[in-house]
Amino acid sequence: MKKNIVAVYPGTFDPITAGHVDVIRRAAKIFDEVIIAVNGNSLKNKKPILPLQVRVKLIRGIVKNISKNIQVDIFRGLLVDYLKKKKVNVIVRGLRAISDFEYEFQMALMNRKLAPNVETVFLMPSEEYTYLSSSLVKEIVGLGGKMKDLLDRNVEKTLKKFLKIKK
């Protein structure tokens, strides 16, 4: 019998960018199901600009046009506890550059320590997105720059609204 392999792609997605979407597309081709798990924990080091439900809605609006095997959910608490609850043991993360490696390596090994049956799979987004990050997007949109194809138009519009930028 064929195994149904489900993967969780966790993140803050404040906001979702073309780089995240690139990883989601790749994951949806490899795994039978992909759950995009939006981090609902209050973060000490990151204060999201977009409220949680807005981030979820924006992601849903994008993935509905990608593939039927993608779901969007919110998780709170430890990621490994969410995986356990969902009976999933694969985490997908994007690796943009060497600079991501140390942080990702640390998280993957810590998650493995917490839940030895969990594997983290790294996918590389297209090189045109390696320099893209949600913080840069917020800074550029906040200063009136245009994101072109690096951000979904609806995401850009919503971000402008939350950054209180006219037009």
Contact yes or no for 141/119 (Cβ under 8 A): no
Active site residue 134: yes
Note if 133 is an active site residue: no
The answer to whether residues 14 and 54 touch, using CB atoms and an 8 Å cutoff, is no
DSSP calls for 7-58: EEEEE--TT--HHHHHHHHHHHHHSSEEEEEEE-S--SS---SS-HHHHHHH
Q: How far is the CB of 1 from ligand COA (least distance, A)?
A: 31
Measured at CB, which residue is nearest to ligand COA? 19
**96 noted as active-site residue:** yes
Residue with smaller CB distance to ligand COA, 39 or 158: 39
CA distance 35 to 15: 17
Q: Which residues contact 96 (CB under 8 A, 6 or more apart)?
A: 19, 124, 125, 129, 130, 131, 132
Marked catalytic residue, from 55, 57, 60, 96: 96
Residue 84 is among the residues annotated as catalytic for this protein = no
Residue 41 vs 67, nearer CB to ligand COA = 41
CB 166 to ligand COA: min, Å: 24
Nearer to ligand COA, 93 or 167 (CB): 93
CB of 29 to ligand COA, least distance (A): 15
In terms of CB distance, is 56 or 132 closer to ligand COA?
A: 132
Which residues are identified as catalytic?
20, 46, 96, 134
